[in-house]
Amino acid sequence: MKWEDWYKIGRKEILEKGGRGLFNHYASLGEAVQAIYPERPWQSSLFVENLMVPHGFWQSDKNIRDALDRAEQKLGIQKVVK
């Protein structure tokens, strides 16, 4: 399993494997993985369960910046002109 594979796992899969208790401590799988492996540069919005972002997600400057950084990389944008 690669680190990136965590992004593809949904809440339903964790529950089916007996991981209900995990959600007693963390609101989402993404939150749990980020807490357990803090040394990794996780991108919250890439977790499959976050495809529908929670209310207020885009109110965070960090979330907006992360999304723009990913778009720049994906589109090959190297310089943003003001």
Q: Looking at the 3D structure of the chain, how many domains does it have? A: 1
For the cut 70, the answer to whether the pLDDT of residue 52 exceeds it is no
What distance in Å separates the CA atoms of residue 44 and residue 63, rounded to the nearest whole number? 8
The structure's pTM equals 0.57
pLDDT for the residue numbered 38 = 94
Position 65 in a domain: yes
Position 10 in a domain: yes
Range of the domain at 50: 3-75
* C-alpha distance from residue 22 to each of 12, 29, 42, 60, 75 (Å): 12, 8, 18, 25, 36
pLDDT for the residue numbered 27 = 85
Position 81 in a domain: no
Position 21 in a domain: yes
Position 40 in a domain: yes
Report pLDDT digits (tens) over 12-50: 899 999 999 998 998 888 889 999 999 999 988 788 776
* Structure letter (DSSP) for residue 2: -
What is the pLDDT of the chain when averaged over all its residues?
Answer: 86
